[in-house]
Amino acid sequence: MKAVMISGRTLAQGAGCEDKMSPLYINEVSCCYLSEEDYRALGLSDGKNLLLTSPHGSAVLRAGVDRGLPQGMVFIPMGPWANMLIGTDTKGCGMPGFKGVEVEVTPTDEKVLDIRELISRGR
Amino acid sequence: MEIEDVLCTFCGCLCDDIRVEVKEGRIEKVRGACRLGSSKIMGHNRIKSPMIRVNGTLKETSYEDAYRKAAEILVSAKHPLLYGWASTTCEALKKGILLAEEIGGVVDTTATVCHGPSIIGIEEKGLVGSTLGQIKNRADLIVFWGCNPSEAHPRHTLRYSSNACGRFTPDGRKGRKVLVIDVRETRTARNADRFLRIQPGTDYEIISALRMIIGGKAESLPENIAGVSRKELIEIAEMMKSAKFGAIFFGLGLTHSRGRYKNVDNALSLVSELNSHTKFVIMAMRGHYNVTGVGQVLAWSSGYPMAVDYARGAPYYNPGETSCCDLLSRRDVDAALIIASDPASNLPRGCVEALAEMPVIQIDPFENPTTLFADVVIPSAIAGIEAEGTAYRMDGLSLRLRKLVDTEHPSDVEILQAILDNVRRLRDDN
Ligand code: SF4
């Protein structure tokens, strides 16, 4: 499924902000939220993961439902997983495009990486 | 012992009515803060001791050794980056600026990936602003555009905006209209009187259409503007014009999407034009508790609010060139001091990979993903809890942070001073 990805703050992401190695923070920021319709259309259920691919990178995330989302839009709480999909171009003003990234969303059996694995892949 | 009127050093609301119970030098209970604030004040896993990476693993060391190692990294770098700052005090940044001048580094704050474009927009257009107190006491229309205070600034609505009872707004939420403009129906949108859903990346078009309607040119608009009907926008423009005192709060919905600072620039024009009809103000929903303050300190010391490069011997500012994401993706810096922030989580992957390749010094009370590749880790006291200092609320009001409990860790100011002393000593030796 093609979708537009936006990243942003959530309560759980904020509450875990000063305790970033905690499961609270990690679980929240490794979750990709979809509309109910898209969740059903992709045949997702509890414990199912998603592979998201953008022109800038890819990541495996857990899937969740956010009723406030329209079809065709996915939301990822800001953090290291959302940032796997974001490019470095700042359009000359210092700011990368954290919202409005075109992504391909597919269900996957791959597991969500541990934060240590995720970061060390960049070293 | 209960300490009253404590400031919460989490978000830009900088709530100053928190009560903290301290028993035997430890914080036992927090009253009055939201979930975000109490989670921070109660504290979590702290970094216990300074550490230096040896053969790939962090090893505990003394503060003196950590300061020396940090100074060595900074002195041998050609163009170091000093990044973060938004969650520490103004006094800490003052030391950071001295350090950057000494080593020819770049000072950038987390604002560049947050409200940096808002600042650029304000530099271009100017801002019809106010304090949060004026809004609380007078505003009868609150607009939240691309922001979600219910999750990012949980007490904002109650203390300052939609639900606050003020002098001329005694009925609080009942006496006000709340309009939310966003691409998804957030918790904030669910509590609004009116929610306008727009397509991602169309803020600029919607703002322009509202400006045309307010300027009396509605008939020149097409029936449908970026997926929203002209009729709906006319109703919204009417809602804005008929307010006695309107306030727009805007968030990263404007700065993170297509258009970036141009969206903000356009929103500022909309507000200044609304002032031909009624009183209207606009304010950025600043995230970290002191991101406003560090912008102020940088501005009055260098002339520029973020992304200031001291490599030329005089401050130089050019967002898009001297901002952290650009410096990292161009590999234009070769060492980094990261303070009170977590770029490993908050920057695009390509920038994180560049950062992981260079020597990194981290100053922070808490471990975070940046610690996973930092080469020198220096634990610090938590400002506003274990150290005093100054911070600015999102509306620019400066407030004094107090020290509530003792700690064995030095403050950010002390750490930066010690690194600066070591840098000066090394440079004298050379
Ligand atoms: S709204 Fe912000 S400043 Fe106020 S208690 Fe919550 S996190 Fe702290």
Residues in chain B: 430
pTM: 0.95
More confident residue, B430 or A26: A26
> Which of B164-168, B244-248, B336-340, B426-430 is predicted with the least confidence, judged by mean pLDDT?
B426-430
Locate the chain B residue with the closest alpha carbon to A102.
Answer: B200
User: Average pLDDT, stretch B297-307?
Assistant: 96
Model confidence at A71, pLDDT cuts 50, 70, 90, reads: very high
Q: Which of A18, A80, A94 sits opposite B44 (nearest CB)?
A: A18
- The pLDDT assigned to A11 comes to 81
- The string of pLDDT tens digits covering residues B1-60 is 999 999 999 999 999 999 999 999 999 999 999 999 998 999 878 999 999 999 999 999
Q: Residue A80 contacts by C-beta under 8 Å, 6 or more apart in sequence?
A: A29, A115, A118, A119, B344, B345, B352, B369
User: Average pLDDT, stretch B327-339?
Assistant: 97
Locate the chain B residue with the closest alpha carbon to A94.
Answer: B320
As a whole number of angstroms, the distance between CA B129 and CA B135 comes to 10
Phi, psi of B50 (to 5 degrees): -60, 150
User: Average pLDDT, stretch B377-392?
Assistant: 96
Q: Give yes or no for a contact between A63 and A50, defined as CB atoms under 8 angstroms apart.
A: yes
Tokens of B83: 């990044």
- pLDDT over threshold 80, residue B430: no
In chain B, residues with a C-beta closer than 8 Å to the C-beta of A74 are none
Please give the share of chain A, as a percent, with pLDDT higher than 70: 98
In chain A, residues with a C-beta closer than 8 Å to the C-beta of B346 are 78-79, 83
B387 lines ligand 1 (CB under 6 A): no
Please give the share of chain B, as a percent, with pLDDT higher than 70: 100
- pLDDT over threshold 90, residue A76: yes
- The pLDDT assigned to A12 comes to 78
Tokens of B169: 């707004």
Spatial CA neighbour of A94 closest among B282, B348, B103, B396: B348
- The pLDDT assigned to A123 comes to 45
Tokens of B278: 């009624």
> Which of A10-14, A34-38, A111-115, B227-231 is predicted with the least confidence, judged by mean pLDDT?
A10-14
Q: Give yes or no for a contact between B344 and B360, defined as CB atoms under 8 angstroms apart.
A: no
User: Average pLDDT, stretch B190-209?
Assistant: 96
- The pLDDT assigned to B256 comes to 87
Q: Give yes or no for a contact between A65 and A57, defined as CB atoms under 8 angstroms apart.
A: no
Locate the chain A residue with the closest alpha carbon to B382.
Answer: A18
Atom 8, ligand 1: which residue's CA is nearest?
Answer: B37
Distance B56 CA to ligand 1 centre (A): 38
Instruction: Classify B194 as helix, strand or coil.
Output: strand
Q: Please state the ipTM of this predicted complex.
A: 0.93
- Judge: A91–B320 Cβ closer than 8 Å, yes or no: yes
- Judge: A97–B307 Cβ closer than 8 Å, yes or no: no
Q: Report DSSP letters for B307-340, one per residue.
A: -EE-TTSS-EE-TTTSSHHHHHHTT--SEEEEES
User: Average pLDDT, stretch B332-361?
Assistant: 96
Instruction: Write down the mean pLDDT value for chain A.
Output: 90
As a whole number of angstroms, the distance between CA B386 and CA B408 comes to 9
B272 CB burial (10 A radius; 0-12, 13-18, 19+): middle
User: Average pLDDT, stretch B334-339?
Assistant: 98
- pLDDT over threshold 90, residue B126: yes
Spatial CA neighbour of B91 closest among B416, B418, B428, B424: B416
- The string of pLDDT tens digits covering residues B273-285 is 999 999 999 999 9
User: For chain A, how far is it from start to end, CA to CA, in angstroms?
Assistant: 31
In chain A, residues with a C-beta closer than 8 Å to the C-beta of B81 are none
- The pLDDT assigned to B196 comes to 97
Determine contact: B346 vs chain A, CB below 8 A: yes
Chain A: give the shortest CA distance to residue B177, in Å: 21
Determine contact: B304 vs chain A, CB below 8 A: no
Distance A98 CA to ligand 1 centre (A): 24
Instruction: Write down the mean pLDDT value for chain B.
Output: 96
Chain B: give the shortest CA distance to residue A90, in Å: 6
Rg (CA), chain A: 14
B338 lines ligand 1 (CB under 6 A): no
- pLDDT over threshold 60, residue B242: yes
